[in-house]
Amino acid sequence: MNTKIEMFGIHPDEQKYLEEHFSKLGNDFTAVYHSETINPENITGNKDTTVLSVFVDCVVNGAVMDAFPELSLIVARSTGYDNIDLKEAEKRGITVCNVPSYGEKTVAEFTFGLILSLSRKIYTAIDRIKENSNVSCEDLRGFDLADKTIGVIGTGKIGRHVIKIAKGFGMNVIAFDTTQNEKTSSELGFKYVSMDELLNSSDVVTIHVPYSINSKHLINASAISKMKKTAILVNTSRGGLVDTNALATALSEGKIAGAGLDVLEEEDAINCNKAFIVGGHAEGHDLCAIIADHALLKMPNVVITPHIAFNTKESLERILNTTIDNIRAWQDGSPTNIVK
């Protein structure tokens, strides 16, 4: 059986890595690599493709699946899979797999990169020197992390690594999770609290939960109103977990002190700004969120990065290795990492 694979959103170095590893597995695989993403507005590929491999910036809905009548497997090169229509896949008998674990340490480390950029105004200082050759330390006074309280929303693999790092900084840790693990709480030395108590008490609030219809806008205007005015919000999970308009309003009105964001609502529209304006379709997009994104980009108390918390050599190799394993296991009749 020759498995025909199409992989979208692949960088040249990723393609080279995959080609080398697929070649070691014999002639059972035929892979086509696309640097561009796939979505309802950009559908390309071969009708006899049986396996589709996508990253989080691709959208795979019914219209995309229609273009691949032989499709039997969708492999998400990510932990999250909210960009794939699972109900539609199930209806068509298409198996969906993901990469359940690849970047827990990677994302946790990056989370603290954002926290330190805000707490010590590192980005502002670097930008001032690079842009204006200004070495003044005026308005660059930060605050220590030691003895401050960090509220961790979500105590899965990434959240637990964030807690470990926070302990290394001497921070007090509180956490919220719908599923509490008291053994982990005891071992790592943190306390589970209600969401309201976390928001009320934290100097830093950081989000580490998956996105779903139920978690959309988990951090909204009501939640932000419960935070300290001196608090900072960090999001390295999914943009839709935060109501962008509410956040932009709160920051402009001084209701919280700052935000560190590796993800944004409508980040794809921001990434493809020119294409969206010229030929994009407004349907399916939140135009208010897009406007709020642009407002956030210009705020001095906001640090925004382009969805790179996962992006290390080691993390990407783990993603690609698991992707290969997922395809191989499916071909052998024993699929792994199936999304339920």
Q: Give the H/E segment covering residue 20.
A: helix 12-23
DSSP 217-234: TSB-HHHHHTS-TT-EEE
Give the per-residue pLDDT at 273.
Answer: 47
Give the per-residue pLDDT at 271.
Answer: 55
The rounded radius of gyration (Å) of the Cα atoms in the chain is 21
Exposure of 95 by Cβ count < 10 A (0-12 exposed, 13-18 middle, 19+ buried)? middle
Choice among 34, 77, 160, 307 that is catalytic: 307
Choice among 267, 285, 294, 314 that is catalytic: 267
Tell me if residue 50 falls in helix, strand or coil: coil
**Token digits of residue 125:** 């200082």
Choice among 14, 208, 238, 265 that is catalytic: 238
Q: Across the chain, what does the average pLDDT equal?
A: 90
* 327 phi/psi in degrees, rounded to 5: -65, -45
Contacts of 132 (CB under 8 A, 6+ apart): none
Give the per-residue pLDDT at 288.
Answer: 65
In which residue ranges of the chain is pLDDT below 70?
Answer: 1, 27, 268-293
Tell me if residue 273 falls in helix, strand or coil: helix
* 87 phi/psi in degrees, rounded to 5: -65, -40
161 tagged catalytic: no
Is residue 322 within 8 Å of residue 76, measured between CB atoms?
no
Q: For 278-322, how does the pLDDT look when each residue is reduced to its tens digit (9 = 90+)?
A: 444 444 555 566 666 678 888 989 999 999 999 999 999 999 999
Q: Give the H/E segment covering residue 31.
A: strand 29-34
Tell me if residue 186 falls in helix, strand or coil: helix
Q: How many residues does the chain have?
A: 340
Residues facing residue 51 across a β-bridge: 5, 73
Q: What is the C-alpha to C-alpha distance for residues 221 and 143, in angstroms, rounded to an integer?
A: 26
**Token digits of residue 157:** 């693999």
Sheet harboring 172-176: ordered strands across? 191-192, 172-176, 149-153, 204-207, 232-235, 258-261, 302-304
307 tagged catalytic: yes
Sheet harboring 95-97: ordered strands across? 29-34, 3-8, 51-54, 73-76, 95-97
CA distances for 83 relative to 26, 33, 99, 318, angstroms: 31, 20, 14, 21
Is residue 47 within 8 Å of residue 67, measured between CB atoms?
yes
36 tagged catalytic: no
* Domains of the chain with bracketed CATH: 3-102+313-331 (3.40.50.720), 104-304 (3.40.50.720)
